[in-house]
Structure 1
Amino acid sequence: MLPATSLRVPRLLLWSLLAGAPLHAQTATGAATPQLQLSADGSEVHDLRARLAWPRCLQGMQWRQQRCEGTPQRLSYREAQKLAQSLQQADGLRWRLPRAKELQRLRQQAAPGDEATLLPGVPGDWHWTGTAAVNAAAVNPYSYDQTGPARNRLAAQQAWAVDWATGRADGETGRANLLLVRLVRPLPAP
């Protein structure tokens, strides 16, 4: 049996393991390399671990002169999904809404000090995700039948969103709400 002291895990390591996203990867030489890197033109942040490309600016904004200019667009869930489809058709890249965990990891990796540098001008507000609702069968939202077990009868009209200020994900966001959008696409194979 091992002594209790040998089972201790440093808090930062434990937190990193629980979060599922190390802040740096080890190279063959043992040196740490950042997980997030800027694209050659500076308009995207590349997550090397997850193999994802994120625009530095929210939808509605443009990357110009080393900053995000314009006003972030607020869209309903349906509008955000249609936007991803139309961009995919326009440029042939596989744009989509990020999964909740992907958006949370981006927020976490772009630490508060780096966030303004990597992702400038991000309001601390809710962002749409493409995370599917579990057990979201079509239901009649006007049925008040209480004979069955308690369950969320509005799940089909809700979607997942992430609060950028806190990192909290919520699966009960009404799809008609107007939220911020940051699309994502896979990085090409190396």
Structure 2
Amino acid sequence: MPLPALSMPCRRWAVVLTAAFALPAGAAGNAAAPAQPALGLSADGTLVVDHRARLAWPRCVEGMRWNGSTCTGMAQLFTYGEAQARAKALGKADGVRWRLPRVNELRRLVDRSARPPTMDARLFPAAPRDWHWTGTASVNAAAVNPYAYGNVVRGGEGESQLSVQQGWAVDMSTGEARGDVGRATRMAVRLVRPAP
């Protein structure tokens, strides 16, 4: 039995809904194909590639070096400003857009369903399980709004000045994130770049 004819507005919605729920070309035949793991190694084994986010992570944190089988040396600790400068300098030297990861990107490296939560030691050997800097900005809109009653009463002092001096960090042993870390604090850094 044929479907009833649709009015013009209904036809537009039918096209939109059909497009929204359509499978990508070739997806119907690949329904049983296994999904690619989220994290895998680059061809040369020096990077961990996040296939879903299209990001590449060095296997070692800054200060440590990959020797072909593990990370050697000591993790270098940076202030927030030093971490940003390191990413910029490395980017200029390599010609690659290295940067500090965002909170959600760095947290994805910690398997929080594991007990206890952990990073995959095969992908990130000898990784420090400490706090790491992220590039996520601390934004406290109420504190920087000059028209907010609390800021007018304080004369624009207090939190607004502190929020500039704070940044976000992730505890790589738990996946916990905090946005109140003083930018002068020295922490480990794992940079990220677009996947090759």
Query: What TM-score does the superposition give when structure 1 sets the normalisation length?
Result: 0.74
Counting aligned pairs with the same residue, the percent is 53
CA distance in 1: counterparts of 2:166 and 2:119, whole angstroms? 32
Give the C-alpha shift of residue 184 in structure 1: 0.1
Query: In the alignment, what sits opposite 1:147?
Result: 153
1:79–1:150 CA distance, 2 compared to 1 (3 A): closer
Q: 2: distance between equivalents of 1:114 and 1:106? A: 6
Q: Cα 1:135–1:113, aligned 2, differ >3 Å: closer, same or farther?
A: closer
Letter in 1 for 2:173: A
Higher mean displacement: 108-117 or 119-128:
108-117
C-alpha deviation, 1:31, in angstroms: 1.4
Where does residue 104 of structure 2 map in the other structure? 101
Question: 1:54 touches 1:184 (CA, 8 Å); kept in 2?
Answer: yes
Task: Identify unmatched segments of 5+ residues in structure 2.
Answer: 1-28, 145-150
**1:79 is paired with a residue of what secondary structure?**
helix
Task: Give the counterpart letter for 1:135 in structure 2.
Answer: N
Where in structure 1 are there 5+ consecutive unaligned residues?
A: 1-26, 139-144
Q: Is the 8 A contact 2:87 2:98 kept in 1?
A: yes
**Partners of 1:96 and 1:184 within 8 A in 2:** yes
Partner of 2:23: none
Give the 3 Å change call, closer, same or farther, for CA 99–157 of structure 1 in structure 2: same
| Structure 2 contact 112–174 (Cα < 8 Å) conserved | no
Residue 173 in structure 1 maps to residue 181 in structure 2: yes
**Paired residues, what number?**
157
| Root-mean-square deviation over aligned CA pairs | 2.8
Instruction: Give the TM-score normalised by the residue count of structure 2.
Output: 0.72
The structure number with the bigger radius of gyration is: 2
Structure 1 contact 36–109 (Cα < 8 Å) conserved: no
Aligned residue number for residue 48 of structure 2: 45
